[in-house]
Structure 1
Amino acid sequence: MSFRSRFSSVALTCLTALVPLNVGLHAELAPPAAGSILREMQRLRETGRVLYLAAHPDDENTRLIAYLANERHYATGYLSLTRGDGGQNLIGPELRDALGVIRTQELLAARRIDGGRQFFSRANDFGYSKSADEALTVWDREQVLADTVRVIRQFRPDVIVTRFSPDMGGTHGHHTASAVMAREAFALAADPEAFAAELGHLPPWQVRRVVWNAWSWGGREWPGALKLDVGGYDPVRGESYGEIAALSRSEHKSQGFGAVGSRGTAEEQFVHLVGDAASADLMDGVSDKWAQWTGGAAIAAQIDATMDDFDARAPGASVPALLVVKRALAALPAEDPLLLEKRAQLDAIIAACLGLYAESTVPAARVVPGETLVLTHEVVWRAAAPVDVVWTGLRYTADGETVAVNRPLTLNEATTLEATRTLPASTALTHPYWLELPSTVGMAQVADADLIGTPENDPAYAAVFEFTVDGEPLAVRVAPEQVTRDRVRGELRDHLQVIAPVAVDFASGLEHFAPGQTRDVVVTATASRGEAAGELGVTVPAGWTVTPASQPFALAAVGDRATATFAVTAPVESTVARLTAHALVDGRRFDRAPQVVSYEHIPVQVLQPVATLTAMTFDLQKRGERVGYLPGAGDTTAEALTLMGYDVRTLTLADLTPAGLDGLDAVVVGIRAFNTMPELATQAGALWDFVAAGGNVIVQYNTNGGIDGAAVGPYPLQLSRDRVTDETAVVTLLEPEHPALAGPNRITAADFAGWVQERGLYFPSGWDDAYTPLLSMADPGEAPTQGSLLVAPHGEGWFVYTGLSLFRELPAGVPGAYRLLANLVSL
């Protein structure tokens, strides 16, 4: 989490690196093991800084980050230009915005393991791109470059390491573009005239060099490359850097990147890109920055002596020496960014040596603006030290008010303070800052420029615990949390999040209207607080009508739900529109539909987007009534089929028997089902028998990793990585009169208008003669591919394999995707 105060931002960054946390940033200050304290002293002493830079979550080299942060003790950051929101999700149905939130948290979890820090630009992951030119066109090149310069000036790295080459193709266009940004930002970060209007408040910074962390697969050797063995052993952790890296990388669970640890020598290669070339070490020519400050060398020597004397059995014995360092640091330039960080690091180390535990808890994690907060603040000083520790006060960041405490702490005795505060009525609802404003395809829009580059929102509410240690001030900033007990998982923590007193939503996020049709649309209101009453309404765009204008509701208790039905009339022309819902309560408008994202490996995330209904107007015909759906990696195809009027039965592998499939007209298999359920390959014969008996099976895309193409259909396919990333690419109908295209909906080129992100992915590159390819398409400058939609008769029925990205188009409300799916199901 980031804070707007420069001191607090740095302090929390250091604290996050210092404290292993398993449910986000805990509100309490929990001391780490003594070995980790010594590691933090080493990082305090070291002034070298490295920024790793790439395009997506999972692009980073976690082994190198673990080595640099823990062996070399450098401040090591990872700048991911995107949040990975254009990818797929292996663990659940979340895509786009919610997926970006998941992957943000997975990166933060990874950094808590490997010791790095995390940064982002505003670039959206708009899907696979085949060139850097395309990526830098869809992104706002100048904005992404400005964000990269911003992070460089704030983090002030000595060396930038790119994951990809700016000059070599053959990879994702985002990858190459990230390296292009690094090379261009190298010069601009040091130019005071660059981005002066938006970044003029940040002092220029000259990076010494930019290098490419070249891949070594297959024993590849790069001429002139600098080599570094990063396969060492961390005695503090009792793990090799390869083992730490595997734990870190395994946090990318939504991408299925669980990794196995490695031990022993591991060589990394670095190819020079720009700046002063290194000959012997990545940090050649980078000096110890303590020497640049008057008195800095003496401070460095004092830190060295303190480390030499450090006793892991009695960490508190080091506090007097650390206070000497603290006083000396206070005499150095107050506004130097690196010194601000060092002061915060030192405070976190002193608190850790004292075993100082501080937390703020609340009875409930969800609060409403203007509501009273009942806070329990607790402090325990747990490690003996020859100093006096006094809890002097509390300062609440929302309004700046302070509370005097003035309680001397006694070793290992808890000191608590109960307080009631009012959450300001102006407090914003919890929602990721980069999603608050409408985004373009390529860029998020951020209202508060100070947040650009940071991984998360500021906490909704925070308290600063103020102490003195032998008269020296020490501040610890924490955010309140709710603490609960789970019988299996034990202690669970949920950070305070701000919600509306009434949540509104549509009963369905998608509705299909025939042209000119009037349909009932249901809006729900759910009470987050009791005694909520007001009016519900629906806002429609021009050409649509809604009656009545509003309807009253009254909710007596928390959790009560009311519904209101509105008659919505669509225009006669085919269109896709966005309708919004709202509640008026005591003159205030609430229009948010909360979405909770909950997985065990990341903190609970609350998103509160505007309540929106995607309303589609188009003609749709279908045949058949009962469809089975076999889930894969997660998509919303079942919901789309229900919306189309089918009776949908969700299947499991156990249902793949004649009895389990009896009564179905068709079966649709979810995306990546053969990837996520390897046993499906041996049980799919029941599906082919179902087809032979007159049924209809549609298999959506699978990746080609470890999959036998002969297993995904009754006739063999050769799966590949072929794809068409241009969602506007011309689509040619190869067999317009084929039953899959001719009816019951006549498919034309118009049905491929309005597609989002891509045409499709992982198309087969070869197939048995039994298949008929129905579509041809290509990205600019490439030869057409015909593997996006393959149909084969089999016995009395039909089999379809498609890599078209229906899983994206259906929830986006693309009419042509519905019409085509209806035809495939209707075969």
Structure 2
Amino acid sequence: MFTPLAVLGTMTQAQTAPPSAGVILEDLERLRETARVLYVAAHPDDENTRLIAYLANGRHYQTAYLSLTRGDGGQNLIGPELRDALGVIRTQELLAARRIDGGRQFFSRANDFGYSKSADEALSVWDRQEVLADTVRVIREFRPDVIVTRFSPTRGGTHGHHTGSAVMAVEAFALAGDPQAFADELGHLEPWQPQRVVWNAWSWGGAVHEGALTMEVGGYDAVRGESFGEIAARSRSQHRSQGFGSVGSRGNAAEQFVHLVGDEATTDLMDGVTDTWTRYPGGDAIAMALDAILHGFDPRHPGQSVSALLAVKKALTALPPNDVFVAEKHAQLDQVLAACLGLYAEATVENARVAPGEPLKLTHAVVWRQATPVAVTWQSVRYLADDETVPVGRVLQLNENETLEVTRNLPVDTALTHPYWLELPSTAGMAQVANASLIGTPENEPAYAMVYTFEVGGETLAVPVAPVQVTRDRVRGELRDTLQVIAPVAVSFTQHLEHFKPGETRTITVQATSARAHVEGVLSLDLPTGWTATPLRQEFALSAVGDRTEAAFAVTAPEGTTSVKLGVHAIVGGRRFDRDPQVVAYDHIPVQMLQPTATLTAMSFDLKIRGDRVGFLPGAGDTTAEALTLMGYDVTVLTEADLTADGLAGWDAVVLGIRAFNTRAELADHRAALWDYVKAGGNVIVQYNTNGGLPDGSLGPYPLSISRDRVTDETAAVTLLDPAHPAMTGPNRITAADFDGWVQERGLYFPNEWDAAYTPLLSMADPDEAATQGSLLVAKHGDGYFVYTGLSFFRELPAGVPGAYRLLANLVSLE
């Protein structure tokens, strides 16, 4: 959930446990193997976690998942976050999944712009060439031998993003090895040609695809004590925002692979792939050495393997130094060496929130905990942001702590902590990224990264370190908070949405919150053309950290209907600050900090309402209650206890949140009370539900059936089927213009069958499809009205779409 700046200092992350002997053993297995597999699909949750778990832990291949999008266009079952914040949640859920199943994670810059019915549509909204370039980039950086797609590049019947992801994989296969392809953008990366692309085919009922290669993946990992199906279920269960909790499976399990392009495999997914070090000249000796290390590994005394690992490290220097694969194996070997040494290295700070240019007091600490036959010397600390190395030169003693106190200045040009793909304005289909080297990576680099270097038996060992603040919680124990770069003052609006009548003047209140003591400055609004404010600026002074002040501006809207963004900024010491820090905090992912530009969506349009009191029953999470309040209603959030004749009496209307019937099992038992409330003269508005996991019986007082019908084109023409219907005439006259400016889609999961008691009010269609009339159904029931709608109010209301407010007001006002 979003948490305001005031609690940032308390939002911390639990310490990551040091690697166990079992983890070291599996890392040694991965060090021995050289084959690599890239799985490609469109969204978080598309990946086959069982296959990834098998390849990464059963065969110990380097296995990665490229998700073209971050899933920011989906829904959220655990909280109110949508769009950017949801994409951050799903990014972290994927990383949590990979920490369990052993894979790596990549992304392209493609935005999840919502459901798409064809690959052509998806690739037209995305920038096809840019997504293709990103896919080629990941292939050249990761260098997979085999690419596996989750979806077919030719078969329909699924999300257009899905098909488009497979199209991109096949096209990128042909270009990744071509040095002329994307030479300007990717010329610095060595071309790489994978061996093949296959489709990880699936079918309902387990039917075998003709010509498919079938492979058994249902094995058991004795080191972890889990089957690959159990590992996969724990991995997939990290997708909590999508409700994908899974139960582990045991026993045999087959996967199918349909050949798409490249050399065809006939007996195994990796046919023809050299998966040992023999693929490199001189690699035979490395392979033999690693086999011997694995054979002699003592889990009680991993330090006894250090000398042999150092010999492998020396042998690696004879391989091509600029080879991406070799460089990665160097880094993996250093991680294994550090684990075998029992080496604990950290950098702590007194305060995890630091502003650019401020002093950063660091305590560097190291302890060597596993006896080895070689000496260990802490050589230096290298600060990557400054490209500066501080010598240490201390010979470590077994299990003795060594510390070094250093004060550095955080560079004044250090970027504020904010997801890199959200820093620049996005197009509908693509994120814009200023630093091209970050493209493909799942998250930001550490704010002030450093590397500790050690001399171990004549070899240099590099250990990356990122600063943390360590605190003690009386209940949870040791907590760690990663370093975050903040502004000395945060600005925000007290409301994120405001409604103006055309030409109306309203008071808009802004806040300035100090993250540092003794902050003085001036606040001003950033206004679009036609909007005015008085005064133009207001001074403020904040004496202590956490102090907050408010300033009121009289803002006047222009004549006419419009929806715009207003901004606010503070000038402090000649520098401009316009960020509104927030964190996203859930217990299954690390706390995430976002610092978007502070904005208010200001809407200017005519709006009339009837009635006063509205009851709102939450579903899966949306902002309908806040929108109703903004419209002028007195809104009360209802609970199960209110779903009785007495509890429902007195409301002018009752509105159900999205997916209420999907997420509230108790609602099924209270339908009769809702229908009786309608019959007695009330209004009930039910927003969309998915067609899975619904209770038996109808979702309304008369039968209707929910389908998967939807209209994904937010600009699709809308026809008013009954312009004289009360829902269309009052208190606001609805016209086709009320469907201008809608975002992402028209609606989803429309009913496709309904009783004659319902009146369909709208007709719409995606290009080249038959029109659907199930987006808005209204039935008179007794003295009241029942409404079922799949229209995407949950997207349009927070986006400030005037027509959505006018139409919702009419539905609530039915009489």
TM-score bucket of the superposed structures, by smaller chain: over 0.9
C-alpha separation between the residues in 2 aligned to 1:486 and 1:677? 34
Displacement after TM superposition at 1:539 (Å)? 1.1
* Offset from partner CA, 1:354-385 (integer Å, 9 cap, x none): 11111112222211111122222221211221
- In the TM superposition, 1:11-410 aligns within 5 A as 31-288=18-275, 290-410=277-397
Per the alignment, residue 485 of structure 1 pairs with 472
Amino acid paired to 1:250 = S
Question: 1:414: how far off?
Answer: 2.1
Tell me which of 466, 489, 510 is aligned to 1:523: 510
CA distance in 1: counterparts of 2:647 and 2:195, whole angstroms: 65
Q: SS of the residue aligned with 1:684?
A: helix
Q: Does 1:674 align with 2:686?
A: no
1:710 Cα deviation (Å)? 3.0
Aligned to 1:361, the other structure's residue is in SS state: strand
1:578: which partner in 2?
565
1: CA distance, partners of 2:278 / 2:648: 76
8 Å Cα contact 2:653-2:684 kept in structure 1: yes
Deviation at 1:724, TM superposition (A): 0.6
Equivalent runs, 1:676-755 vs 2, <5 Å: 676-708=663-695, 710-755=697-742
2:431 is the counterpart of 1:444: yes
The separation in 2 between residues aligned to 1:535 and 1:291, in whole angstroms, is 66
Q: Is the 8 A contact 2:14 2:480 kept in 1?
A: no
Offset of residue 217 of structure 1: 2.7
Farther off after superposition, 725-734 or 418-427: 418-427
Q: Tell me which amino acid in the other structure corresponds to 1:70.
A: N
1:776 equivalent to 2:760? Answer no
Task: Extract unaligned runs of 5+ from structure 1.
Answer: 1-21
Distance in 2 (CA, whole Å) between partners of 1:570 and 1:815 is 14
Query: C-alpha distance in 2, partners of 1:484/1:823?
Result: 53
Give the whole-Å Cα distance in 2 for the aligned partners of 1:393 and 1:296.
31
Cα distance in 2 for partners of 1:610, 1:677 equals 35
Q: Secondary structure at the match of 1:679?
A: helix
Quote the offset at 1:656 in angstroms.
1.5
1:15 aligns with none
Q: In structure 2, the residue corresponding to 1:331 is in which secondary structure? A: coil
CA shift for structure 1 position 417: 2.2
Aligned 8 A contact 1:574 1:618 in 2: yes
Q: CA deviation at 1:24?
A: 7.2
Work out whether residues 346 and 365 of structure 2, in 8 Å CA contact, stay in contact via their aligned partners in 1: yes
Indicate the larger mover: 87-96 or 698-707. 698-707
**Residue 300 of structure 2 aligns to a residue in which SS?**
coil
**2:617 paired residue among 609, 613, 630:** 630
Q: Give the Å deviation of 1:313.
A: 1.3
2:541 is paired with a residue whose SS is strand
Q: Check whether the contact 2:609–2:813 (CA below 8 A) recurs between aligned residues.
A: yes
Aligned position for 1:8: none
Counterpart code for 1:800: V
Pair 1:501 & 2:488 matched: yes
> Is 1:812 equivalent to 2:799 in the alignment?
yes
Q: Give a deviation string over 1:401-445, Cα, whole Å, max 9, x none.
A: 222222222222222222222111111101111111110000001
Please name the residue that 1:4 is paired with: none
Which residue is 1:655 aligned to? 642
RMSD between aligned residues: 1.4
Asked if the contact 1:394/1:463 (under 8 Å) is kept, the reply is yes
Q: Could you tell me whether the CA contact under 8 Å between 1:216 and 1:269 is conserved in 2?
A: no
Distance 1:47 1:418 in 2: 41
**Structure 1: how far apart are the matches of 2:462 and 2:414?**
24
Q: Cα gap change, 1:711/1:376 in structure 2, threshold over 3 Å: closer, same or farther?
A: farther
Match of 2:6 in 1: none
- Residues in 2 aligned to 1:709 and 1:517: alpha-carbon distance in whole angstroms: 49
Distance 1:418 1:691 in 2: 70
- 1:456-514: per-residue Cα shift (whole Å, max 9, x none)? 01111122111111231111111111223334433332211111111101111111111
Q: Which residue of 1 aligns with 2:5?
A: none
Deviation at 1:610, TM superposition (A): 0.7
Contact kept in structure 2, 1:80 and 1:119, CA below 8 Å: yes
Is the 2:14–2:479 contact (alpha carbons within 8 Å) kept by the matching residues of 1? no
Q: TM-score scaled to structure 2, two decimals?
A: 0.97
- Count residues with an aligned counterpart: 804
Matched to 1:34, the amino acid is A
1:521 deviation in Å? 0.9
| Offset of residue 202 of structure 1 | 0.6
Deviations 1:85-110, CA, capped at 9 Å, x for gaps: 00000000000000000000000000
Code of the residue aligned with 2:590 in structure 1: it is P
Counterpart in the other structure of 2:790: 803
| CA shift for structure 1 position 742 | 0.7
CA change 1:760–1:678 in 2 (3 A) is same
List 4+ stretches of structure 1 deviating above 4 A: 22-26
Q: Could you list the runs of 5+ residues in structure 2 that have no partner in the other structure?
A: 1-10
Letter in 2 for 1:801: Y
Contact 1:709 1:718 in 2 (8 A): no
724, 735, 753: which one pairs with 1:766? 753
- The 8 Å contact of residues 276 and 287 in structure 2, kept in 1 or not, is answered as no
Matched-pair contact (CA < 8 Å) for 1:681–1:711: no
Cα contact 1:684–1:711 (8 A) shared by 2: no
Following the alignment from structure 1 to structure 2, what is the Cα–Cα distance between the partners of residues 225 and 195? Answer: 33
TM-score by length of 1: 0.96
Contact residue 734 and residue 775 of structure 1 kept, 8 A: yes
Are the counterparts in 2 of residues 31 and 356 from structure 1 also a CA contact under 8 Å? no
Aligned to 1:10: none
Give the distance between the partners of 1:657 and 1:241, measured in 2 at CA: 48
Equivalence map 1:546-557=2 (5 Å): 546-557=533-544
Q: Distance in 2 between matches of 1:629 and 1:706?
A: 22
Q: Is the 8 A contact 1:326 1:343 kept in 2?
A: yes
Q: How far apart are 1:627 and its partner, in Å?
A: 0.9
